Amino acid sequence: MNILVLGAGGREHAICWKLRQSEKVKELYCAPGNGGTGFHATNVNLDVSKHKKVASFCKKNRVDLVVVGPEAPLAVGITDDLRKAGIAVFGPLYAAARLESSKIFAKELMGRYGVPTARFRVFDDFERARTYILDSDLPVVVKAYGLAAGKGVIIANTHEEAIESARKMLIGREFGSAGRRIIVEEFLSGREASILVVTDGDAVIPLATSQDHKRAYDGDTGPNTGGMGAFSPTPLIGKKAFKEIMSRIIEPTIRGLKNEKIDYQGVLYAGIMMTEDGPKALEYNVRFGDPETQAILPRMRSDLAELLMNAATGQLAGTTLEWDERESVCVVLAAEGYPGEYDKGKEITGIIEAMDAQAIIFHAGTKYDGDKLVTSGGRVMSVVGMGDGMKQATESAYRGVSKIHFDGMWYRSDIGAGVAAGINS
């Protein structure tokens, strides 16, 4: 089959890397891709916001399946438009993508179908939000209702901080239209983990569990980012918790969507807080996570192309997956200044040496300037280590990290460290 992957990040590189291992894949394209995807796919200079041009490319190149990586194209209905053109797509329709593009839609759906989650209120008026915040217990969570590149969630430890966050969103438009309404939410205490499942709207196939590190700096401090690292599996989700998450969170959500005549084919990603009262849903994403994907796919032994095509065409029932029993740790290398403004164009060296040290490298914010590989984004690349046990996997990942260099490079030094030390991180 011929496949087109849309996106340019580490997630898309990992998807291309895994798809290329399939004997069923003939031609593989990535639009626009990055400095690493070109080793596995043909990078295509295609504007993914121009849906008709994407459809035209697919027909001209006999593309059998489109895999949508990032959330933004899903939020504006690329799946709807490509399916109308007769092209199979792995990724939900616009109506279903609102689970991520509208946190309000997601929270209200949770409420209607009894999914355990935090108490919340929705505001579009700053003064009303301010009054409610002043009467809220601390910490309190303030969320932009729409897409904000993983940065629209503020955990405020004081009323003043929460009020200022609400002011920036509602009045200052810090996140543009994504912040024209906000959610003020109860803070859930516990540890956070991730569950990703593949579904065709009926059958549900879970992927390996994982755990992300959103905060910028060691010790889970600093601002939220798109993700500074991840590991798989997570010890936070044992067999009992896994069954509870599937029966109380994932399955009611899929049934709820179907009950409301909303088709869902693709990945459903649930951020889960493991609380004293059991697992509770924090939020949904409607695509593979980044960097969770970079930690999960190296552990997958099954054919990813077959899995995605079965989901996109409603033939997922009966599909089974096999997994490598080893653990994986993914460390993100970032540009100086990220998650704020950052420089670009810094030469990257040491990739071959890192691969020689048995690390798996997934590019994100990279491109070629002539024959030089240079930085082009805030999260530059992911370095993945595998091992028998989290300690070995962590050592493998950081051994790879030590080989790579670019000016201003920084990363968290504690990804997976708690688990490697025998502590539930």
- Among 358, 330, 362, residue whose Cα is nearest residue 234: 330
pLDDT number for residue 148: 67
Distance, in Å, from the CA atom of 197 to the CA atom of 270, rounded to the nearest integer, reads: 9
Distance, in Å, from the CA atom of 27 to the CA atom of 4, rounded to the nearest integer, reads: 8
Residues 6+ apart with CB under 8 A from 261: none
Distance, in Å, from the CA atom of 319 to the CA atom of 383, rounded to the nearest integer, reads: 30
Checking DSSP bridges between strand 215-217 and strand 140-144, what pairing results, if any? unpaired
pTM of the model: 0.91
Contact 165, 156 (CB under 8 A): yes
Per-residue pLDDT in tens (0 to 9) along the chain, 425 residues: 999 999 999 999 999 999 999 999 999 999 999 999 999 999 999 999 999 999 999 999 999 999 999 999 999 999 999 999 999 999 999 999 999 998 889 999 999 999 999 999 999 999 999 999 999 999 999 988 777 666 688 899 999 999 999 999 999 888 888 778 999 999 999 999 999 999 999 999 999 999 999 999 999 999 889 999 999 999 999 999 999 999 999 999 999 999 999 999 999 999 999 999 999 999 999 999 999 999 999 999 999 999 999 999 999 999 999 999 999 999 999 999 999 999 999 999 999 999 999 999 999 999 999 999 999 999 999 999 999 999 999 999 999 999 999 999 999 999 998 775 555 54
Distance, in Å, from the CA atom of 396 to the CA atom of 358, rounded to the nearest integer, reads: 7
Q: Start-end ranges of CATH 3.30.470.20 in the chain?
A: 190-312
Contact 44, 16 (CB under 8 A): no
Q: Start-end ranges of CATH 3.30.1490.20 in the chain?
A: 125-180
Q: Start-end ranges of CATH 3.40.50.20 in the chain?
A: 3-93
CATH class of the region 327-420: alpha beta
Contact 44, 29 (CB under 8 A): yes
- Among 246, 357, 232, residue whose Cα is nearest residue 297: 232
Tokens of 351: 């990739």
Distance, in Å, from the CA atom of 31 to the CA atom of 45, rounded to the nearest integer, reads: 6
The CA-to-CA distance between both ends of the chain, in Å, stands at: 41
60 burial class (0-12, 13-18, 19+ CB within 10 angstroms)?
exposed
State the Cα angle at 262 between 257 and 268, rounded to 5°. Answer: 60
- Among 239, 277, 307, residue whose Cα is nearest residue 116: 277
CATH class of the region 125-180: alpha beta
Distance, in Å, from the CA atom of 413 to the CA atom of 216, rounded to the nearest integer, reads: 11
Q: Start-end ranges of CATH 3.90.600.10 in the chain?
A: 327-420
- In this structure, which CATH number among 3.40.50.720, 2.40.110.20, 3.40.50.1400, 3.30.470.20 belongs to the domain 190-312? 3.30.470.20
The count of other CB atoms within 10 Å of the CB of residue 255 is 13
* DSSP states along 102-133: -HHHHHHHHHHTT--B--EEEES-HHHHHHHH
Domain 3-93 has CATH 3.40.50.20: yes
CA atoms within 13 A on the CB side of 234: 29
pLDDT tens digits for range 79-119? 999 999 999 999 999 999 999 998 889 999 999 999 999 99
Checking DSSP bridges between strand 65-68 and strand 88-90, what pairing results, if any? parallel
Beta bridge partner(s), residue 191: 274
Distance, in Å, from the CA atom of 335 to the CA atom of 161, rounded to the nearest integer, reads: 28
Residues 6+ apart with CB under 8 A from 26: 1, 2
The phi, psi pair for 135, rounded to 5°, reads -100, 5
| Residue spans of beta strands (DSSP E) within 345-399 | 360-363, 366-369, 372-375, 379-387
Q: What is the DSSP letter of 377?
A: S
Distance, in Å, from the CA atom of 416 to the CA atom of 331, rounded to the nearest integer, reads: 9
